[in-house]
């Protein structure tokens, strides 16, 4: 059975999706992300580890705007 991606009244077949990803030069990014996902999938982080990584990311990227509200939202999301 063929898989289709449907949004609204438009439907795209699996073959068309691959063709579109290649045409938009997104296929290499997809492959890279799939490789990374498979490589890290055996590892599970605790909630504290996840929050620590998120905090480190914000500190490294100087994303301090609304940091407290973002952290609160992430805690709710990660729980």
pLDDT at 53: 84
Q: What is the end-to-end Cα distance of the chain in Å, rounded?
A: 36
Same domain, 34 and 54: no
Together in a domain, 9 and 34: yes
34 with 51, same domain: the answer is: no
Q: What is the pLDDT along the chain (79 residues), one digit of tens a residue?
A: 568 888 889 999 988 998 999 999 999 999 999 999 999 889 888 989 988 888 887 777 665 556 666 666 666 666 5
Show the domain range for 69: 47-78
Total domains present in the chain = 2
pLDDT computed for residue 58 by the predictor: 76
Asked if residue 18 lies in contact with residue 4, where contact means CB atoms within 8 angstroms, the answer is: no
How far apart CA 16 and CA 22 sit, in angstroms, is 10
User: What is the pLDDT, as a whole number, of residue 2?
Assistant: 66
pLDDT at 56: 84
Same domain membership, residue 60 and residue 36: no
Q: Tell me the whole-structure pTM to 2 decimals.
A: 0.52
Q: Is 32 found in the same domain as 51?
A: no
């Amino acid at each position: 059975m063929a898989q289709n991606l449907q949004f609204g009244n438009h439907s795209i077949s699996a073959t068309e999706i691959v063709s579109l990803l290649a045409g938009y030069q997104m296929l290499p990014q997809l492959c890279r992300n799939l490789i990374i996902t498979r490589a890290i999938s055996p590892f599970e982080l605790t909630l504290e580890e996840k929050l620590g990584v998120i905090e480190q990311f914000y500190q490294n990227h100087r994303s301090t705007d609304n940091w407290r509200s973002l952290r609160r939202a992430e805690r709710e999301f990660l729980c």
